[in-house]
Structure 1
Amino acid sequence: MSVHEVFYKLYDNIFIETNLQNTDYDAVVFILYPDELGVNLPRHIGSFVDKAAKIDKHINNSVTVWNCDYVSGGRLIISPIGKVTPYHDVSVVKKAAQKGVVRALDAGAKSPLIVVQSVVHFPDAQLVCVMGALEALYSPLQMRERVAPNNFTKIGFHAEEQLSEGFERIVRNAIAMERARIIARDIGGSDPERMAPANIVEYIKNSFAGESNITINVIDDEKLIAKEYPLLAAVNRAASRVDRHKARVVEIEYKPSDLSRVTETLILVGKGVTYDTGGADIKISGRMAGMARDKCGAAVVAGFLKACSILKPPHLKVTGVLCLCRNSVGSDSYVADELLVSRSGKTVRVTNTDAEGRLAMADALFKMADSASKELNPHIYTIATLTGHARACYGNNVAAMDNHSARATNHSGKLQFSGSRVAEGIEVSIVRQEDLAVNVGKCKGDDLVQYDTDAKARNHQLAAGFLIKIGGLDDKNLKYTHLDIAGAAGEAPHEPSAVPVVSLCHLHKVFM
């Protein structure tokens, strides 16, 4: 077993339990729904909750712990979702499950049992509840490598007093999603040295070892990267003096056992800047802290491929490209005013070295767009912590932007719907003609500018416009969606969210 899985075996100590009084558990976590949602209380604890509400009205507002003889371990943790308005979504269930499990562990429980009820108002509430509980158990990779965590022994999920095939499928899907999100959190959240490009490669190889439906190709030769990924090579120049910081391009491919059943091809290109100093346009005023999470786009791509390797969707063929580099500062830094020639042959004038993410992905995007026409029903994504503007506009949600072909199918709208079902926030943002035009070169010999420094608005849309133009996706009939996850990646002290791994899996029917 690889080191990233050592803190718990996702099947060996996770159970579906039909008996709320089973003595194998030392606490029961109960999600309390408001009366207007019409969720029935389990018969073992219904009367107790009614009495508790008369003792402490706060059971509807905050997590409370009770001595209860009617449940396993004699300890009942009541975690309310609170008032639900038309503006709330299923994320209230996820938060309640997380808080309930955390409170159970803080109370000394090692083997909590979670009550997972069906909620008509939220069709995927059971899946979200299980995922929320599992997420609460996560320990960061670098903690796990120092000391084997012992925060819990086992966890159980109770839906009803008889085993059902439907609930078993929900739990198995949730476990697969959590295994995928662990990879995304480990890569995205670990520090710049633990997840330097060379170490990410090693981690990826270990994570997918033994997977018969996965192939991995690593491009690490400097000359080859300079030739085939010249914009990535420019970003990487200052870092290339340190071997572990050198750029790598990792291609992970998933193929089902029967290719004749494939109906859709997905291509995901992820920004994997393991640390972003800003380069020659160096970040100041403390804004460099947190830049280890500039690799969360690549982390999401790896997580999605992991979900595919576990659940083996027969209708998908998937290629993920991790564009790994470090935007360092030094005597060989790339600088503003340089004129770079991209893989596409278009020249790009550098205007701000802190806008490195679009350059890191550009050549891989062009390569994938060039080959996508040979695939069946292709859809290309770029996934990146690309702009602070996306966070300013949409907070902790993902900004989803379609090119003309994807927009014709309302693709981002469908992704937004999937996100609403699985507690991941997606906001649809429209790429307009001016977002492409603003990237056109201003000087003789410039085909494109890396970033228009005079732009006062629409910064996340114009970044998508740059990627559309550099990828040759402005006039091709290829579906392309750019996901700016700058806000959704999460900030310390919170762990990376791994959003939008589950939304992508829901939309593309990785799990059913």
Structure 2
Amino acid sequence: MAQGPYKFDENVFVETNYQSTEYDGVILILYPDEKNIPLPRNIGSFITEITKLDKHVHKACTLWNCDYVSGRRLILAPTGTITPYHDVRVVKEAAKKGVARALDAGVKKPLLIVPACVDYPDGQLVSMLGAFEALYQPLHLVERGIAANFYRIGFHAEEKNTDAFKKVISNAIALERSRIIARDIAGGDPERMSPKNIAEYVKKTFASDRNVVITVHDNEKYIAKEFPLLAAVSRAASCIDRHKPRVVQIVYTPSDEARVNETLMLVGKGVTYDTGGADIKISGRMAGMSRDKSGAAAVAGFLKACSILKPPHLKVIGYLCLCRNSIGEDSYVADELLVSKSGKTVRVTNTDAEGRFAMADALFKLSEIANNHIHPHIYTIATLTGHARASYGNYVAAMDNHAAKVTNHASKLQFSGARVAEGIEVSVVRPEDLAVNVGKCKGDDLLQVDMDAKARHHQLAAGFLIKVGGLEDRNVKYTHLDIAGAAGSPPDEPTAVPILSLCHLHKVIV
């Protein structure tokens, strides 16, 4: 099977017969008995006897010789115990592990049975996405010509080839194509996905999309003038052409702008490698910092989902803020006083807090024009703080400003995340999170970060962005998403969060 984009007519299929000779193995997501999920006809009694023989089938993926399925190979992929505290992620993990187990067994044409469960309205979509995750091939393997170890995948439609089931598969394919782009960018090594190369990759990716316009800003003087804080971060890297900063603007506009009732504006942190700069990372903490571009990757992926699924009610403006935080004789250093695009002076206190600088000026630009658009909502998406990971583990920290909080926006996003297997925790920005960013020296408007602060680091980072972005008093809805714990760290593949949650909440998928 070729690496994405997935082609519905070539290698992803609806299947109504789990004895079809087109497949060489069948995977069944196995729910606990107490869920009373009906087993497939013809193999139900076979599975019932297996569960009596070995209770372990509800704990780990197992493979059985079964004459009643394609290839005579039946993989049971259990969800495990499901308590009231579990959510649809149990389905995603079961599908992902089931497909991985099938591939390990030599299956090259798997068929996944995706039973519906009333507890999880989007469970079939999520299970398909879990299967696709197992099939993902990293970009470096694809570009080396190393073939994928499978040829096709089918999804069983419970003997009914319905339009509704086809729609679920089409949505899954579109979302996975989008997540592949995000994973490619986020997971690419620092040289393959340098700022210059990301810009080229994005242009190539969207080349055939007529509803998307891409603008790449690469002129050093322009970036220094319009994105001065990003330019400061990139100073030590700018002596090398491929490491010079880029600001990529992607705009999705539906065919009939009169139908637009919401405008999304997204800013993604795209630090292609973070050494920590002059405040260099120590104790081996630098490994994995190529994932510091996951926010920009997610923005690109979300725009791709829009370009494929074409939501008629949305206009989307995305900024990928691409730079490299390098070490060198021209490094920006603590104690420097910089002037942001908003006109506020910012005192550098820690060059390893570069992410907020990378996004600050793009955020301000969007806040300035937001009210010229219909029902605007601004997001920043970034692997911004280790504190978010320490606070919430592998979940996204979502923080609203005052205008977004009125509508409980972060809570709505959390609900959407729960529907599509992306965990989101709501975190509250409080007055002290803004106040702590006020400059201490005479004439300083803001501190990059208060190095004396002992707590609330991910919230105060949001407070900095609100202040530097001019969003403290302006009546524009803004939500900051810190994905530091959720984006995926090596050796795990990038997760591409929060693409699915955004697509669900903003009705990109219906």
Q: Same fold (TM over 0.5)?
A: yes
> How do 1:126-165 and structure 2 match up within 5 A?
126-165=124-163
Counterpart residue identity of residue 348, structure 2: V
Counterpart of 2:237 in structure 1 is 239
1:282 aligns with 2:280: yes
Contact between 2:377 and 2:476, CA under 8 Å: does it hold in 1?
A: yes
Q: What is the deviation of 1:9?
A: 4.0
Q: What is the deviation of 1:445?
A: 1.1
Q: 5+ unaligned residues in a row in structure 2: which ranges? A: none
Counterpart of 2:226 in structure 1 is 228
Counterpart of 1:166 in structure 2 is 164
Q: In 2, distance between residues paired with 1:10 and 1:319?
A: 29
1:361-416: per-residue Cα shift (whole Å, max 9, x none)?
Answer: 00000001101110000000000000000000000000000000000000000000
Counterpart of 2:176 in structure 1 is 178
Counterpart residue identity of residue 194, structure 2: A
Q: What is the deviation of 1:36?
A: 1.6
Match of 1:373, SS state, is helix
Q: In 2, distance between residues paired with 1:300 and 1:175?
A: 17
Q: In 2, distance between residues paired with 1:12 and 1:472?
A: 49
Counterpart residue identity of residue 494, structure 1: D
Counterpart of 1:5 in structure 2 is 4
Identity of aligned residues (%): 70
1:361 aligns with 2:359: yes
Match of 1:238, SS state, is coil
1:511 aligns with 2:492: no
1:120-162: per-residue Cα shift (whole Å, max 9, x none)?
Answer: 0111110101110111100100111112323100000002102
Counterpart residue identity of residue 121, structure 2: P
Q: 1:477 aligns with which of 475, 478, 482?
A: 475
Counterpart of 2:458 in structure 1 is 460
Counterpart of 2:289 in structure 1 is 291
Q: Number of residue pairs matched? A: 509
Q: What is the deviation of 1:10?
A: 5.4
Q: In 2, distance between residues paired with 1:253 and 1:313?
A: 13
Contact between 1:422 and 1:503, CA under 8 Å: does it hold in 2?
A: yes
Counterpart of 1:32 in structure 2 is 30
Q: In 2, distance between residues paired with 1:9 and 1:282?
A: 45
Contact between 1:256 and 1:314, CA under 8 Å: does it hold in 2?
A: yes
1:273-325: per-residue Cα shift (whole Å, max 9, x none)?
Answer: 00000000000000000000000000000000000000000000000100000
Contact between 1:271 and 1:385, CA under 8 Å: does it hold in 2?
A: yes
Q: In 2, distance between residues paired with 1:212 and 1:4?
A: 23
Q: In 1, distance between residues paired with 2:149 and 2:162?
A: 29
Q: In 1, distance between residues paired with 2:9 and 2:297?
A: 23
Q: 1:197 aligns with which of 184, 195, 210?
A: 195
Contact between 2:137 and 2:148, CA under 8 Å: does it hold in 1?
A: no
Q: In 2, distance between residues paired with 1:78 and 1:464?
A: 44
1:318-357: per-residue Cα shift (whole Å, max 9, x none)?
Answer: 0010000000000000000000000010000000000000
Counterpart of 2:389 in structure 1 is 391
Q: What is the deviation of 1:45?
A: 1.2
Counterpart residue identity of residue 4, structure 2: E
Match of 2:238, SS state, is helix
Q: In 1, distance between residues paired with 2:476 and 2:469?
A: 11
Contact between 1:217 and 1:251, CA under 8 Å: does it hold in 2?
A: yes
Q: 1:492 aligns with which of 480, 486, 490?
A: 490
> How do 1:31-430 and structure 2 match up within 5 A?
31-430=29-428
Counterpart residue identity of residue 73, structure 1: G
Q: In 2, distance between residues paired with 1:210 and 1:42?
A: 42
Counterpart residue identity of residue 5, structure 1: G
Contact between 2:3 and 2:136, CA under 8 Å: does it hold in 1?
A: no
TM-score, normalized by length of structure 1? 0.98
Q: In 1, distance between residues paired with 2:489 and 2:365?
A: 32
Contact between 2:3 and 2:148, CA under 8 Å: does it hold in 1?
A: no
Q: 2:446 aligns with which of 442, 445, 448?
A: 448
Q: What is the deviation of 1:501?
A: 0.3
Q: What is the deviation of 1:12?
A: 1.7
Match of 1:237, SS state, is coil
Query: In structure 2, do the counterparts of structure 1 residues 5 and 42 end up closer, same or farther at CA, with 3 Å as the change threshold?
Result: closer
Match of 2:272, SS state, is strand
Match of 1:271, SS state, is strand
Counterpart residue identity of residue 206, structure 1: K
Match of 1:319, SS state, is strand
Q: In 2, distance between residues paired with 1:48 and 1:147?
A: 41
Contact between 1:404 and 1:479, CA under 8 Å: does it hold in 2?
A: yes
Query: In structure 2, do the counterparts of structure 1 residues 186 and 291 end up closer, same or farther at CA, with 3 Å as the change threshold?
Result: same
TM-score, normalized by length of structure 2? 0.99
Contact between 1:37 and 1:121, CA under 8 Å: does it hold in 2?
A: no
Q: What is the deviation of 1:54?
A: 2.3
Q: In 2, distance between residues paired with 1:130 and 1:62?
A: 19
Q: In 2, distance between residues paired with 1:246 and 1:100?
A: 43
Contact between 1:44 and 1:71, CA under 8 Å: does it hold in 2?
A: no
Match of 2:234, SS state, is helix
Match of 1:317, SS state, is strand
Contact between 1:10 and 1:179, CA under 8 Å: does it hold in 2?
A: no
Q: In 1, distance between residues paired with 2:177 and 2:412?
A: 24
Q: 5+ unaligned residues in a row in structure 1: which ranges? A: none
Counterpart residue identity of residue 284, structure 1: I
Q: In 2, distance between residues paired with 1:165 and 1:209?
A: 30
Query: In structure 2, do the counterparts of structure 1 residues 321 and 11 end up closer, same or farther at CA, with 3 Å as the change threshold?
Result: farther
Counterpart residue identity of residue 197, structure 1: P
1:40-82: per-residue Cα shift (whole Å, max 9, x none)?
Answer: 0011210110111122221111100000001111100001001
Counterpart residue identity of residue 446, structure 2: L
Q: What is the deviation of 1:475?
A: 0.1
Counterpart residue identity of residue 213, structure 1: N
Counterpart residue identity of residue 398, structure 1: V
